[in-house]
Structure 1
């Protein structure tokens, strides 16, 4: 005879007894008698117990009638009465069982009762009465041991699989036969022939199929309601947590929670810290109705916050709840976003801020949250981040934006060249008392100093960029992030290179890469470059670039990749400069670069030009740039680079235009530092190419008076040009000084050019042995720079391009302050086009285009007055080969004399001034 009690029928009087005596194994006659007895019991005897400490007495007549049936049945053979899930049995049935048990001690009747020990019995008196009987035995069924799990698996899958799976399946099931059987069902389904292949290794128990989820749901719903609630809370927390914390979240007392945790552990569902199988947590949350789940996460968040938990775990609960209805929750989300960002979890930080923005009602807090969101987006996409500008504008106008966030808005506007709005933002910021608050005043000072060297056109109304920079006293120049701009200011102002370099390295050692320190690190790297330490700048850029890549922050990556490219160019490593410059451009779309695109383009134009890759240089020059780029420092670098391209491709007049435009802006903005932008050197080379030696010498001598010209690389390059403007007998001495100053590790390309000029100077004076030695060293240096060996012409003037690339107009910035400084003095009249008289047209004569590269090189040297033997030594070819090339040149250009070559090639013939 069997019966199964259920929670649904626990309030049905004698429901269990009715099941027992309607059992099909009972003879029909006895079944009818039992039914009649139970149907005739008075209603009062069917009522519930008076309480957990008492039990109503059963109807004696009915009880004796049922006893008679059992005794009669036992006379025919042994009788087993089995009742499962006794914890849900109704009270009257339990009363009847006690009555029968006391009166059938010697009969052949076995009463077998099964209940869940994890569920508190609502009938403690029943247990007390039952277990005091001498013929009652209590048997506890524990979870399966490892050996038991092995046996069960072996019975289903065989010995080999049992050895393979026992450890993992015992850990995942906790020894629960229910869970173990479900996991094995899922395993067999996943590995069934012809089925889908298993997503996980066979030694890992899968819990993605229906069997495990069904078993888990059954287990939870058979448990007490408190156990189900606690299981959900544990799932929400992601860990068992403390009973006090769970109790606070659920509104339960600690003892109730402790009992629920113990009962869940006894079922094999919970381990010491969490669910035994990760899928259990997912399954528990999945079966929780969405509204109840969201409410649970909110209550867990409040409990964690009350317990003093860090912002991160609290924010995770709010994120799972998908809302943050209280003000303290908004603050927690913002703090957690900062922590996540510091840990490099940008996506998590954005999710926290988005949730806070959705539920925030306070205007000031909304502005701060929007700024935080923009700050994070800026690291990945400066263009996308600008979508927040309008809201921040409104907040700034309303006085709801703090100084830190006002600085962010201004920097964003400056990056994209929106200078009118940037000026207005600065004015509003100051109007709301930025100068009165010490912290905001410092933020404003840091911003204006940064603007002084990056966007100086906004500062000229105050008397020049650097005139508005904060002082660099002991406090302002401490080796902390925001003072790096002051260190750069000092270098730009007075050229104090070594002291500035030492301070910059101290800053690089002490400042941690982050959104708030990017400007400082960039300024420190630029200081090292301007202080003639490109090797150190390269090493630091490599380190910071790796760190930026780990943070997956494209904005940081482009800054350090550009600095690395600049350092490589200054070192003379052209291939590395191109590689890092191209990598920088590839990390952001052109539209996201704003005015800063001038920096990588400048390095790429310079490096490809020096390598003779003119088609590539043209491609970079044709890259669209914003007009406002020429109101920023980036435009200066771009103009300087484009000038060198024009110079290298035989357009000295266009080159001079670019260099002088660059010079006017640099002078007006107080950025006239040769180590930053050596525009006078380029202008001097262009003047030499135009035959304007006096003008070239004036430019070089003026450069020698500028701050920072004492640095080896800058001074060596300047002395090389000074030699080119001097008398032939003075050139070797100046060039030897230049060679002694220049070092392969910091200025390899300039050293190669100085050696090439020294070769020419010795050769002009007949010192062939010295010329050969200098030429050999020059060729080695040129090769190490990945530039053509014959790059430099006699006298230090850049040679024309081997083939004329597509024309590039020498466009100067339309809004350049032409009256900022007077034009450089000219010692030659100009023609109607504004080009110095006698200057060649800005394209190669068509006649020269018929020559091969080798023929053109020989023709140009011959036109410059170099003998055939000297041409052979310069180009490393025999005199016979020189003569053969000249024969073909004469024929192709239709000339019969060497002195006619210059005119046909579009070059200036040798004269007294250029000798």
Structure 2
């Protein structure tokens, strides 16, 4: 580490040069930790001077500070042992009695405090005389590293000698660590002050870091990498070297791309060395730097000093020492010279020491009303209970964090507050309720758990109901049975809304809306909800928030069951939105059902402006991080508006949203996103959607059929159309039993018919699409009916098919879904081409224009004309083995990595039955097990496709 040390080396060369010619001198090398003091001494000991000088070396140590003449013995023991009796006689002539006892083997070192002044002078004189006589024989260099840790006797002698070497061939070079408490001892200060030369190495320049990078990596470093290394280390040679050593060991190269790695580096070797330096700090220095370490990366000096609780003069002196030591920079506010220093300081404390400082910091910060959250951050890291004052600080900070749109921080404060709260009682209930509300934004499952725990801790039925009403409807649909039971019991305990006064009636209606949302999976209750809406007639109450929530759920029940039309649903939805303030918090109410209804009703234009005002996915002032349910709303509206590509982007963003999964967005949202994955052929979205429902603990009664739909989508997107259509049909039949019949929300027949058609199975496709035509016509949404007509026209073919496609295109002209219109015109053009109709090109051109308008850049895909090739059929590669339909389906699922339990659940059989089916498959295909399925099920080369 001798880069950038040419000046220092020249100075020391001058010291040696003068001593070699009889002008002895002394020099001190000082500086902070890691600056390279010892390396400079090494250079003197091992360089050319070693051929000229007799080099005697010693190192001061805090462990030997009380050993009188310990450093002196390190310097001379070896050379005296090797000297001949004649040489010793010359060196000790006239002083043997004073000097020899100091070096006798096993001799006890004298108690210097008990020596008389004359005796003490004799000892010092004898040692100095011996040294000068050595210099007369051969130039002698005394190197003392860490002089500040030398024992008092040795220091006294070195000071004595330094004043008497000017006419000798003796040089003394010592190192001192600046800022150390030990360096403030009077004998050390005397030596430093009287030294003939002072050398103080500085931080490495950029050129110095460049040289080190080249040495460690064997190649020049990129400028950005070099600057990053210098910035994070301040140019301290030790810090730079350890960072480079670690990066090189990890296989990094010194490129611009690795600059962030240099900034993040926390070298293990450096972390191991730092505690040794910290152990040598004075108590005041340690107190101040620990206070600074527990605060932020850049620390307000005044705050750190207050937390340390030291008198101003003591703080001033400690601060200077820490800066001179190289632990703190000379900046304000305080900044550590390297992040590892801060971490080492923090790790040096006991739990009790850390708690005491953090509590002091919290009290000081709380006194400043602008730093309540900073105070709370300190309290979250305190292990010991702190009582009611801490709870008050934490709750106040949580309110501030929630208002600023940082629910994760608020939740952290509230969790810590719970540790200082009794296990039962109203205060704990209030904290749990606040915690649940904060967690709704990023951890819905935890939010449900804590809100439900809070309910019985409230003191009255109204308070219990008010907490339960904060549960997000979409989330409770996935909850465990005890959550649903608690919700219903709370509603019963409160009583019917009509019998309650103002605020309590509002709470009761909100609670009723949530209970009705749970009822959507029970067919009798679902149909009763739909009939209840019809019975209300045109004057559905919408004046309050709770009334609008209830109306949203009742409307959705009617939409699911097909007991209303798209026009009626859109009209009521529009009335709800006209009265409902647009806020990001709507995702925690029943209002997303209104968004879904309008998307299904082919009326995205009625809700898009409202959703924009609400902050869309929650990326407004009250919620800087996107909420997945808001993203799904956007994705569904974009798809309904004929923009599948941006819709896919929103859906993928929702999938990636940390902590909050799509499983909390409701079954119809998952179905819509699955339909989008199929439309865009996106295998990644299809797989992630299915994984959402594969997590444990999903209790909604539609979970299994929806998972089956998503598995079917995944299979179809992956090319396995047969398995895909089987699962989608199974899904549809299951939901029909629940009364979920809306062809826009549950488009299984349209999807299955199209997949059958793509598989060349016209006979299976036609009945499905004919079945759904009636319900699509009754629903009346142009997009839904136009899609059904398009698929029906495609499947029907011929002149009848052309007529259906004409009708589809005409219907879709009134739709917001321009992408569906593009597909209809593209199909119509292809059908007309097959009939040699000159109008074919007109429709194809219009389809291309629409595709460009939708951002797809090309007309609809997966179009199959009667003249096209037959679809590929999946058959065993052997060409001889014949599998039953059940065996083939089981084999396909196993080949895709599904476990026996998953296959059994999907097929409604036992795992043993699956095992038997697979055994038959292996035997028929002539393979050993699952590993051979993929190859065995691959189509042979002569199969068209």
Which interval holds the TM-score relative to the shorter structure?
0.5 to 0.7
Q: Is the 8 A contact 2:59 2:147 kept in 1?
A: yes
State yes or no: 1:511 paired with 2:583.
Answer: yes
Q: Is the 8 A contact 1:451 1:459 kept in 2?
A: no
Give the counterpart of 1:174 among 234, 238, 241.
Answer: 234
Give the counterpart of 1:539 among 631, 637, 644.
Answer: 637
**Length-normalised TM-score, structure 1:** 0.54
Q: Could you list the per-position Cα deviations for residues 653-684 of structure 1 after superposition, in whole angstroms to 9, with x for gaps in the alignment? A: xxxxxxxxxxxxxxxxxxxxxxxxxxxx9899
* Aligned match of 2:212: 153
State yes or no: 1:551 paired with 2:609.
Answer: no
Q: Is the 8 A contact 2:144 2:173 kept in 1?
A: yes
State yes or no: 1:244 paired with 2:302.
Answer: yes
Q: Select between 506-515 and 218-227 the one with higher mean Cα deviation.
A: 506-515
Give the counterpart of 2:177 among 94, 107, 116.
Answer: 116
Separation (CA, whole Å) in 1 of partners of 2:534 and 2:660: 30
Separation (CA, whole Å) in 1 of partners of 2:529 and 2:345: 67
CA positional deviation for 1:241: 0.6
Q: Could you list the per-position Cα deviations for residues 486-525 of structure 1 after superposition, in whole angstroms to 9, with x for gaps in the alignment? A: 67879989977676565677799943267635x3233233
State yes or no: 1:62 paired with 2:119.
Answer: yes
Q: 1:441 to 1:96 in 2, by over 3 A?
A: farther
Q: Secondary structure at the match of 2:198?
A: coil
Q: Could you list the per-position Cα deviations for residues 453-472 of structure 1 after superposition, in whole angstroms to 9, with x for gaps in the alignment? A: 77474997999468899998
State yes or no: 1:424 paired with 2:530.
Answer: no
Q: Is the 8 A contact 1:643 1:682 kept in 2?
A: no
- The runs of 5 or more residues in structure 2 that have no matched partner are 1-55, 81-90, 559-563, 609-632, 640-646, 715-720, 755-769, 789-804, 826-838, 851-858, 867-884, 887-945
CA positional deviation for 1:145: 3.5
Separation (CA, whole Å) in 2 of partners of 1:431 and 1:147: 77
Q: Could you list the per-position Cα deviations for residues 286-309 of structure 1 after superposition, in whole angstroms to 9, with x for gaps in the alignment? A: 455566556655555555445556
Separation (CA, whole Å) in 1 of partners of 2:219 and 2:812: 75
Q: 1:417 to 1:3 in 2, by over 3 A?
A: closer
Q: Is the 8 A contact 2:471 2:588 kept in 1?
A: no
Separation (CA, whole Å) in 1 of partners of 2:539 and 2:172: 96
Give the counterpart of 1:587 among 668, 692, 696.
Answer: 692
Q: Is the 8 A contact 2:99 2:126 kept in 1?
A: yes
Q: Secondary structure at the match of 2:815?
A: helix
Q: Secondary structure at the match of 1:46?
A: helix
State yes or no: 1:46 paired with 2:110.
Answer: no
CA positional deviation for 1:425: 1.4
Q: Secondary structure at the match of 2:299?
A: coil
Q: 1:325 to 1:588 in 2, by over 3 A?
A: farther
Q: Could you list the per-position Cα deviations for residues 152-180 of structure 1 after superposition, in whole angstroms to 9, with x for gaps in the alignment? A: 7399669955898864554454344xxx2
CA positional deviation for 1:574: 8.7
**Length-normalised TM-score, structure 2:** 0.52
* Aligned match of 1:448: 512
1:92-491 residue pairs with structure 2 within 5 A? Answer: 100=160, 108=168, 114-120=175-181, 137=196, 139=198, 141-146=200-205, 149-150=208-209, 153=212, 167-176=227-236, 180-181=237-238, 184=241, 187=244, 197=251, 204=262, 211-253=269-311, 256-257=314-315, 259-271=317-329, 272=331, 274-289=335-350, 292=353, 300-301=361-362, 303-308=364-369, 313-314=374-375, 317-318=378-379, 320-321=381-382, 325-330=386-391, 357=418, 360-363=421-424, 364-371=426-433, 391-392=453-454, 394-395=456-457, 403-408=465-470, 411=473, 421-429=486-494, 438=503, 442-449=506-513, 455=519, 457=525, 464=532, 476=544
Q: Select between 29-38 and 280-289 the one with higher mean Cα deviation.
A: 29-38
* Aligned match of 1:661: none
State yes or no: 1:523 paired with 2:580.
Answer: no
Q: Is the 8 A contact 1:561 1:581 kept in 2?
A: no
CA positional deviation for 1:97: 7.0
Q: Is the 8 A contact 2:477 2:518 kept in 1?
A: no
* Aligned match of 1:619: 727
Q: Is the 8 A contact 1:565 1:581 kept in 2?
A: no
CA positional deviation for 1:526: 2.0
Separation (CA, whole Å) in 1 of partners of 2:143 and 2:785: 104
Q: Is the 8 A contact 1:17 1:93 kept in 2?
A: yes
Between structure 1 and structure 2, the one with the greater Rg is 1
* Aligned match of 1:815: none
CA positional deviation for 1:219: 3.0
CA positional deviation for 1:121: 6.2
Q: 1:374 to 1:144 in 2, by over 3 A?
A: closer
Separation (CA, whole Å) in 2 of partners of 1:322 and 1:398: 33
Corresponding residue pairs, total:
680
Separation (CA, whole Å) in 2 of partners of 1:744 and 1:462: 28
CA positional deviation for 1:742: 6.2
* Aligned match of 2:72: 20
Q: Could you list the per-position Cα deviations for residues 740-767 of structure 1 after superposition, in whole angstroms to 9, with x for gaps in the alignment? A: 7764535899999x99xxxxxxxxxxxx
Q: Could you list the per-position Cα deviations for residues 694-742 of structure 1 after superposition, in whole angstroms to 9, with x for gaps in the alignment? A: xxxxx99xx8xxxx98x87899999xxxxxxxxxxxxxxxx99999776
* Aligned match of 2:815: 745
CA positional deviation for 1:33: 0.4
Q: Select between 441-450 and 159-168 the one with higher mean Cα deviation.
A: 159-168
CA positional deviation for 1:594: 0.9
Q: Could you list the per-position Cα deviations for residues 361-380 of structure 1 after superposition, in whole angstroms to 9, with x for gaps in the alignment? A: 25334445555666677778
Separation (CA, whole Å) in 1 of partners of 2:284 and 2:367: 22
Q: Is the 8 A contact 2:433 2:454 kept in 1?
A: yes
Q: Secondary structure at the match of 2:177?
A: coil
Q: Is the 8 A contact 1:596 1:629 kept in 2?
A: no
Separation (CA, whole Å) in 2 of partners of 1:22 and 1:603: 82
* Aligned match of 2:917: none
CA positional deviation for 1:61: 1.3
Q: Could you list the per-position Cα deviations for residues 623-651 of structure 1 after superposition, in whole angstroms to 9, with x for gaps in the alignment? A: 59999995xxx756599969979x999xx
Q: Could you list the per-position Cα deviations for residues 513-563 of structure 1 after superposition, in whole angstroms to 9, with x for gaps in the alignment? A: 67635x323323324544744896743574864663453355456638834
Q: 1:225 to 1:416 in 2, by over 3 A?
A: closer
Q: Is the 8 A contact 2:497 2:508 kept in 1?
A: no
Q: Secondary structure at the match of 1:139?
A: strand
* Aligned match of 2:913: none
Q: 1:208 to 1:283 in 2, by over 3 A?
A: same
Q: 1:441 to 1:628 in 2, by over 3 A?
A: farther
Q: Could you list the per-position Cα deviations for residues 844-869 of structure 1 after superposition, in whole angstroms to 9, with x for gaps in the alignment? A: xxxxxxxxxxxxxxxxxxxxxxxxxx
Separation (CA, whole Å) in 1 of partners of 2:510 and 2:550: 7
Separation (CA, whole Å) in 1 of partners of 2:819 and 2:228: 65
CA positional deviation for 1:407: 1.8
Q: 1:244 to 1:523 in 2, by over 3 A?
A: same
* Aligned match of 1:813: none
Q: Could you list the per-position Cα deviations for residues 141-160 of structure 1 after superposition, in whole angstroms to 9, with x for gaps in the alignment? A: 14233178359739966995
Q: Is the 8 A contact 1:83 1:113 kept in 2?
A: yes
CA positional deviation for 1:63: 4.2
Q: 1:640 to 1:308 in 2, by over 3 A?
A: closer
Q: Select between 310-319 and 488-497 the one with higher mean Cα deviation.
A: 488-497
Q: Is the 8 A contact 1:169 1:205 kept in 2?
A: yes
CA positional deviation for 1:239: 1.1
1:776-791 residue pairs with structure 2 within 5 A? Answer: none
CA positional deviation for 1:65: 1.7
CA positional deviation for 1:59: 4.7
Separation (CA, whole Å) in 1 of partners of 2:710 and 2:102: 103
Q: Is the 8 A contact 2:429 2:457 kept in 1?
A: yes
Q: 1:259 to 1:145 in 2, by over 3 A?
A: farther
Q: Secondary structure at the match of 2:512?
A: helix
Q: Secondary structure at the match of 1:425?
A: helix
Q: Is the 8 A contact 1:227 1:261 kept in 2?
A: yes
